[in-house]
Amino acid sequence: MRIYKVKDYDAMSRKGAAIIAAQIISKPDCVLGLATGSTPIGTYKNLIAAYNAGDLDFSQVKSANLDEYRGLPRDNDQSYYYFMYNNLFKHVNIDMNNTNIPDGMNPDADAECARYEEVIKSLGGVDLQLLGLGHDGHIGFNEPNDQFDKFTHCVNLTEMTIEANKRFFASIDDVPRQAYTMGCGTIMRARKILMLVSGADKADILYQVVNGPVTPQVPASILQFHPDVTLVADEAALSKF
């Protein structure tokens, strides 16, 4: 694992965007695995700025997002479709037909998970997977569990995740209890992984992810087994190292 320690959230966002930009420039038709949450917002802003400066072209880029809440339609302002459209896609020249996000409205969970795995396969796999980190060590919505899930699946969100994500909803009762997410196996099949982590509240879990045992109780710890992971984290997040 390559670790870049940067000063703060803004520096993390600039470096994160530079790594993604390098991927797009070196392979214009690459497949990006994209993430939501507050962590990548600054990275997306920097990518949009690079696009506006004429330095980046998304016209051939394809994307596959990590996850989506189950039961939220695309036009719900908390859906990850809405997030991606408003924080990145509508600002750049990506072809929306080349963007992929699990369909939170498909009531047939097994069919949706199988469909999404097939989509990723048909794209030829993910070249660069962007990841944030949940407070309980989750990646995508792979919550602490007794085993690592190999494929896209439907999960019950933990109380900690519901609590952490309630800030985006009118009340905690509005937070969906389930989500579709790529499995840890799906994530591990990406050729390269870029994890971004910011803030003192992630310091303990980030230490466990990188230095602790590899265990499905800390889902992100599986990244220790991936041959090409770049971690960009700020001083606060790396304060326990």
Query: Residues with catalytic annotation?
Result: 67, 136, 138, 143
Among 42, 102, 104, 134, binds ligand GLP (CB under 6 A): 134
Interacting span for ligand GLP (CB under 6 A) from 8-16, 44-52, 53-61, 130-138: 130-138
Which two three-digit tokens encode residue 236?
A: 């606060």
| 141 is an interface residue for ligand GLP by CB under 6 A | yes
Q: Compare residues 57 and 82 and give the one whose CB is closer to ligand GLP.
A: 82
Residue 127 to residue 93: CA distance in whole angstroms: 19
The nearest distance, CB 85 to ligand GLP, in angstroms, is: 17
Among 6, 30, 35, 84, binds ligand GLP (CB under 6 A): 35
| 66 is an interface residue for ligand GLP by CB under 6 A | yes
Distances in Å between the Cα of 223 and the Cα atoms of 66, 127, 159 are 15, 16, 24
For residue 162, what are the contacts with CB-CB under 8 A and spacing of at least 6? 172, 175, 177
The nearest distance, CB 159 to ligand GLP, in angstroms, is: 13
For residue 170, what are the contacts with CB-CB under 8 A and spacing of at least 6? none
User: Which residues form the interface with ligand GLP (CB under 6 A)?
Assistant: 35-39, 66-67, 132-134, 140-141, 161, 165
